[in-house]
Each structure stands twice: as structure tokens, then as C-alpha cells.
Amino acid sequence: MSPTEDEITGWFARQRQLSPATILIGIGDDMAQIAVGQGASVLITTDMLLDGTHFDLRTATLQQVGYKSMAASLSDCAAMATIPLAAVAAVALPAGFSEQQLKELHAGIMFAADKYDCPLVGGDITSWRGRGPFAICVSMLSKPGNSPPVRRNGAKVGDAVCVTGSLGGSGRGRHLEFEPRVREALKITACVTLHAMMDLSDGLSSDLNRICNQSGVGALVHAAAVPVSQDAKLAADPLSAALNDGEDFELLFTLSAEQWAKLEQTWDDPVPITRIGAITNTGRMQIRMPDGRINGLEPHGYEHLRRG
Amino acid sequence: MSPTEDEITGWFARQRQLSPATILIGIGDDMAQIAVGQGASVLITTDMLLDGTHFDLRTATLQQVGYKSMAASLSDCAAMATIPLAAVAAVALPAGFSEQQLKELHAGIMFAADKYDCPLVGGDITSWRGRGPFAICVSMLSKPGNSPPVRRNGAKVGDAVCVTGSLGGSGRGRHLEFEPRVREALKITACVTLHAMMDLSDGLSSDLNRICNQSGVGALVHAAAVPVSQDAKLAADPLSAALNDGEDFELLFTLSAEQWAKLEQTWDDPVPITRIGAITNTGRMQIRMPDGRINGLEPHGYEHLRRG
């Protein structure tokens, strides 16, 4: 059985002891944080998006692809409650890709850059010599916001587990036009202290599993509380779609019961926040079904190294 | 006629006025520089390397590819005389790419990371769903070294034009194993003040043309002075190879005649520095051939948007 992306990433992370004086956060979170002197630090993320995997250029426009490539990295900035600073974009162009197509892609990048105040400051344009599909890699810098960057490994037993927005069915089109929750993450951390956070890129079941693993805790999800999107309601199994579909790009976070009470009382944003469960000491993920049964919850989200 | 990469990049650069308070250096140099508060700044570069374009996995090992992907970005850090801080790597994997292959790639990345003190702090692993070749995109952060980052646009009439090492024929193998001139760039800028610098990635004729265009000057290259590599001497036209072959990853820089005199006198490094010509007020590039004739020098290096 071939390893998962998390197993490989974990192996990579164990190969070197990074200097804690300069690498404040290393491999395994949504962004890495690097000290740059004078007490300042910067965070960085990189995302590779591929034609046929993350979008399909037979149906998606290049403007949508440019937007999505920026929005995916902006979502990483949000995942740690940090403030986007600047982005660079590298592209691999298939044969026959035209100047007009590059400008359409650029327009999508700039729409996101302007909307989220994250300028494009550089890039790299390369072309396949032989046959190769379109690929784009955006790398983005951010700086800490209202709090130290919120990591995946701080969830505590008893925490409320919350998500923004609604989940599932992103593949019906939302995955190309989602709103990265940059503003919401900063608004939340201006109000309360979070213990752990990440963005939902591979599906709630897989991403909550990452918070549990990295925090050394379990979780109990209340199925009836999971906000199922309108798109997911069109699926054969809407709950499964909300639990396992990837690319929601909503925020998943945990905080103490007291802090949750405060957040619930003060949150007046059009983007809803829903408490979907609690962090437990069981060491594994479980789900309470609407009929009261408690089942194991397996990480069945998107696996980047899945074959076939 | 389709536009060159420089023309497209210039068009991109003109689409937005970047805030000079935060974006200290924007699109069009080897790296962008971003202010991060407390008087500190960070630089960023991104490089996409493609199987079949920048290497050939039928003959190159994955260790070599991992090394080269880091070394290309390290060379950008050197190009502005900055100090590498950290790198992230995103990969697009073809079907059937194994765990063992990922570890070989990682070994090459880590060899460069360790040698040049630039830790790998994160990344992204993606797989093509359909057919797609191997691609890797390394993005790298650096910080200013002994001087403000040396740009491409500062060359002055009368400057000496210099290069490190020897040029041409990199395709015979050196392009996979070159030494990015990080140490040399910092040593040079500790000794003298440079007016302009970049690294030679697309060939001397094309890269010097960039310095001339961005500085609004011309240049006269002395053919007899160009350091032709042993590899280039095996070519049918060694001078042409030295002028136009890409991926030398040597430094190309300009400085005043007085500063050149100082550098020439004190430079005791095993990596040679050669004065190959001068910056002129002609507004164009020329070359003095060994027989004394002066010809126009056309940018015939590697063009990333060349088709076919």
C-alpha cells in the first residue's frame, strides 16, 4: 500500500531538525513561518494546480483558473489567521498557448489580487517542449494578524469544533469561485482565542483528522449539526458529500467552550459559523448520527497520492 | 509574431502600480522585495522546472533534478546578492511516481538546502489525474546581504561588464550540477559597490540585453575576453555557445571602472571574475570580434515562449 501525502510529508518533516530561531513554523502546517530579523516574521505557502486534477480547461475559463490559483493560497493565509502580503505565480504552458490566453489567466489572478489586497509581484513563465498540460503554482507571503499564526496542533479536549459556511458539493462549480475566508479569520481572531485552525481543502473528515493527529486528540462530530451546502443536498448522500468532498475552502477551527460562547454571541457576519462537535480524549474521530448511534468517522476526503 | 517572455512580463508589470511602501522591488527583476514591518524586508523568487524542457528524466536522476530546482532559485538569490532564508517546493507527479522516487527527489533538494543553508520549510504534492509529465516549482525567500539588493536597472555608461566563471555548453551536464554563486555574490558586494547584476539563466546575449534595456544603456562586449567554458569549446562555434547557451547560472554584473580596479586587485577566489566589456551610450549591444570589427550583438539566448 503506497503512503498517503500526510505520511510522506511527515517523513520529509522528520529528515531535518529546523533551527527554531529562524524557522518558527516548519513543514506540516498550512504555512511555514520564517523569522526575518528585527523581530519581524513572514509566512509562506505554495500550491500547484493542474489541468485535469484541480480544474478542467475544457469547461473552466482561464480567468476562473487564475482566480482559483490565488484563492487557494489566500485560503492558506486565512487558515492561520494571517494577513496576505504578496504573491508570485509560475506557469507551465502547453504548446499553442496564446498571448490572449495568458492575459485571461492574468485577469483572474489580478481579480483575486485586487479583491484581497495581495499584489502579484513576480513569476515565471515556462513552456512544455513536448506534450504537457497547463499547470500553475502560486506561492504567497503573509504576516501575522491579530494573534500568533493559528496552527493545527493546538486543539484541546473539550474544545468546540466549528466551521464557517456550508460544506460539500464544491465540484459543482463553487471550487472555482469560492471566497477565501481571509476577512473572517481575522475577525474571529480579533474576538476570541483559537486553539487550532486550518482550511478545508481535502474534505472535513480528512482535515479534522489532521487537527486530531497533530494535536493528539479525538473528535466527536454531530451529524445533524454539519452545515450541508445546497450543492451537497443534490448528492445521493448529502452528509457524506459534506464530510468528504474536497475544496470547500471554509475554515475549520477549535476553541474553548467559553470562547465559543463569546463568539456565538457576538458573531454578526453574513458568513455563518457552526459548532459541529467537540474535541474528545478518545484519540479517534467519531460521528453521532441523527438516530443517536455513534460511529467511527474515517478520513475519506481527497488523497493527493491516490492512484488511478 | 508572438511576444517574448520579456514583452509579456513587461505588460504584466504595467497593469498595476504597486505600492512602493510595501513592494520595494516588483515584477521584472530576479526577485521581488517586500517590506514586512519593523524595517525588515524579504525577497522572493519562483522557478518552474519541467521534464523535457529543463531536464530529461530519461537521463537525469531525480537527485539531480531536486538539486537543480533548488540551485536555480539559489542563483536568483545570488543574482541580487541576497542571503537565502528558506524554500518551499511544489511538485506535479506523473502516474506511477513512487515513494522511492519522491525520496530521491527530496535527497537532491536537501543536498542543496544543506550546502547553501536554505532549509526546505514546506511544499505541495499533487498528482496528474490524466497524463502529465513531472514538474517542480521551487519558491525561495532571501534577505538583503551586504548591500541593498542589486537590481538589473542600475548599469551606467562607462561601467565594466563582468562575469563569474566560464560560459556556454551547460547542456552537456553542468546545467544539472552547477554551483549557484551565492557565496561569490556576497563576497563581491562586501568588497565593492555594484551598479547592476543578474544571473545568467538564458544566455549572456539575452541577459545582458535585459540589463541594457532596464538600465537604458548599450554595451560593447569584447569577444576575445569572453571566458569560454571547456564544454563550449566542444561546440561547432564556441563563442556563439558562450554568448547564447542558457543555464550558465553565473553572475553578470556591472560596476564603475574604479570599483572594477579594486575588485580585480583584491579578488583571490578560485571562481574567476572576467571583465568582458563595457556599458556604452549607444543604446544597443555590440561585440568587438577578435579581428577588430564591431558587430551588432543580438539576444539569441533561450526564449521561454518560443514555440515548437
ipTM value of the model?
A: 0.95
Does the residue A306 lie in any domain?
Answer: no
Express each pLDDT in A212-255 by its tens digit.
Answer: 999 999 999 999 999 999 999 999 999 999 999 999 999 999 99
Does the residue A266 lie in any domain?
Answer: yes
Split into its structural domains, chain A has a count of: 2
Angle made by CA atoms B73, B116, A11, in degrees to the nearest 5? 85
Look up the CATH number of the domain holding residue A239.
3.90.650.10
Shortest CA distance to A76 belongs to which of B38, B141, B124?
B124
DSSP B249-262: --EEEEE-HHHHHH
Q: Which three cell numbers stand for residue B48?
A: 518552474
Contacts of A161 (CB under 8 A, 6+ apart): A155, A208, A219, A221, A252, A253, A254, A275, A276, A277, A278, A279
Shortest CA distance to B31 belongs to which of B148, B141, B183, B146?
B141
Taking an 8 Å cut-off on Cβ atoms, the answer to whether B86 and A307 are in contact is no
Is residue B165 domain-shared with residue B198, that is, in the same domain?
A: yes
Is residue A165 domain-shared with residue A121, that is, in the same domain?
A: no
Instruction: Put the strands of the sheet holding A135-144 in their side by side order.
Output: A23-25, A32-37, A40-50, A135-144, A82-93, A120-127
Is residue A67 domain-shared with residue A135, that is, in the same domain?
A: yes
The region, left, alpha or beta by phi > 0 then psi within -120 to 50, assigned to residue B165 is left
Helix axes A182-191, A62-79, angle to 10 degrees: 20
Structural domain boundaries, residue A269: 160-296
**Residue bearing cell 551598479:** B195
Query: Can you give the pLDDT at residue B5?
Result: 85
Look up the CATH number of the domain holding residue A105.
3.30.1330.10
**CB-based contact (8 Å) between A89 and chain B?**
yes
Nearest to B53 among A42, A121, A127 (CB): A127
Cα gap B70→B35, rounded to integer Å: 24
Give the closest-approach CA distance of B52 to chain A in angstroms: 6
Nearest to B139 among A23, A46, A129 (CB): A46
Does the residue A167 lie in any domain?
Answer: yes
β-pair type (B120-127, B82-93): parallel
Average predicted confidence (pLDDT) for chain B: 95
**CB-based contact (8 Å) between A13 and chain B?**
no
Residue in chain B nearest A90 by alpha carbon? B48
Cα gap A5→B124, rounded to integer Å: 9
Does the residue A149 lie in any domain?
Answer: no
Is residue A172 domain-shared with residue A126, that is, in the same domain?
A: no
β-pair type (B273-280, B218-222): antiparallel
Express each pLDDT in A247-298 by its tens digit.
Answer: 999 999 999 999 999 999 999 999 999 999 999 999 999 999 999 999 999 9
Q: Which three cell numbers stand for residue B53?
A: 524542457
H-run or E-run covering A86: strand A82-93
Query: Can you give the pLDDT at residue A308?
Result: 37
Is residue A228 domain-shared with residue A286, that is, in the same domain?
A: yes
Question: Taking a contact as any Cβ pair under 8 Å apart, which residues of chain A between 121 and 160 contact chain B?
Answer: 121-133, 135, 137, 139, 141, 143
Express each pLDDT in B157-174 by its tens digit.
Answer: 999 999 999 999 999 999
Does the residue B97 lie in any domain?
Answer: yes
